[in-house]
Each structure stands twice: as structure tokens, then as C-alpha cells.
Amino acid sequence: MLLSDRILFLDGEALVIDKPEGLPVDPPRDGSLSLENHLDSLRFGFKRWPLAVHRLDRDTSGCLLLARNPKAHGRFTRAFEGREVEKQYLAILEGVPTSDHGTIDLPLGKTSTAEAGWRMVVDPKGKPSVSHWEMIAVEGDRALLRFRPETGRTHQLRVHALEGLGFPIVGDPVYGRGGTKTRTMLHAERLVVKRDVKPSIIAEAAFPDRFAALGFSAPEGAAPTRG
């Protein structure tokens, strides 16, 4: 797997890759490969390795922004923290919502137990978490949704799907019925970061084959299917 073949956007300060599912952004405890093992191939003439600006879960594929210098990293990080970044995700749910669109506003907090480990839960005292959603298609007893999160909390869409809509994302091993051999069906399809002087960073990741394998087609206007 060559991440240099999965470039969605590239200029002097920014790089967006189509991260494959199964690749963690941060080095895992088990010592398996992560984004760090690929950073040297993403220098494209720069001496520094690019720096990830945000995180996608191991199972989540799609648009991942990296900064090519520390100043850009700081600006992009502030844009994410200030809710100035447009993000779109696709998810397949283990069920069909009763309406076709809406907004989920559920604050999230972290909990941990010795038996089950840590997870995110709805917590009135937690951090604000807002996700807008619309239903794109239905196949059998599953639905393809597009999420537009305003905030970027850990596991936000996974918890909002379960607690806000009543159905987990297909394959989710923590909040759904997935296991160790399944992949959570979540894909970061579009990312837009506005900049003061330079043109906006706009990246779109193709509809993944794993979604097509469950009977869904790419939404109208989406990039061609890709594994």
C-alpha cells in the first residue's frame, strides 16, 4: 500500500490523503503499522515529515489533512477547533431512521471500566457535540447516511448514530454488533478548509468498495468507487 498514490490535495503547506480503512493515525500499542510508517513517502521534497492535523479512527477511511510545516499545522488546528472546517462523512447504519434528515445535539464524555475499557457516552456535563445528517439510500434493513459534524469529538458520529438515531454504524465493535474481524462502515468523503490568502483546501475521497459490497451505490456527484 502506497499512500503517495492516494493523494487528494497537495500544495506547499497542505496535504490530504485518502486514508485506507485499517490504518491507524497514531502508532498502536500492538506495534502494527500506522500513518507514521508512511510519512517519509509523503515528504514530496520537503525535509520534514508532514504532521496530521486531526484524527480518523483506524476503521474510518477517507480525507485526512496533514500540514507540511509547523505554522500551517497551527493554523489548521485552530480552524478545526473553531468549527471552521467543513466535514462530510458517509455511514451505513444497522437500521433505517424514521425521518430523512435532522440534527443530533448530544454532549459527550468519556467513561472507562476495567471490564469493558473506555468508550464515549452521552453526558449532560460533557463537551458539546453536534451532527447534522441526511438519509441518502436504503437497502433492505440498512441505511446510507451523510453526516456533517459541527464538532469533532472522539467517536462522535459512532455515538450519535446509536444514541441519536437508535442504530449503530455497521461493523462498529464498540457501539454496535461488530467484532474483531469487522470494519466500521464510516468514510470521510469531503473536507474543506478555508484559507485567508490561498484558495481553500478542497478534497473528496471516492466512494469505497466496501460500501458498494453491501449493496449501496455512490451518491450523485460523488467520486468514482475506490477500494
Q: DSSP character for 47?
A: S
C-alpha–C-alpha distance, residues 109 and 37, integer Å: 31
What are the angstrom distances between the C-alpha of 218 and each of 83, 113, 144, 208, 226?
A: 27, 39, 10, 8, 10
Q: DSSP character for 25?
A: S
Total residue length of the chain: 227
Is 5 designated active site?
A: no
204 CB contacts (<8 Å, ≥6 apart)? 8, 63, 189, 190, 222, 223
Cβ atoms of 41 and 76 within 8 Å: the answer is no
Cβ atoms of 94 and 184 within 8 Å: the answer is no
Catalytic residue among 57, 105, 141, 209: 57
Residue 34 grid coordinates: 500506522
Chain centroid to CA 137:
20
C-alpha–C-alpha distance, residues 122 and 149, integer Å: 16
3: left (phi over 0), alpha (psi -120 to 50) or beta: alpha
The residues that are catalytic are: 57
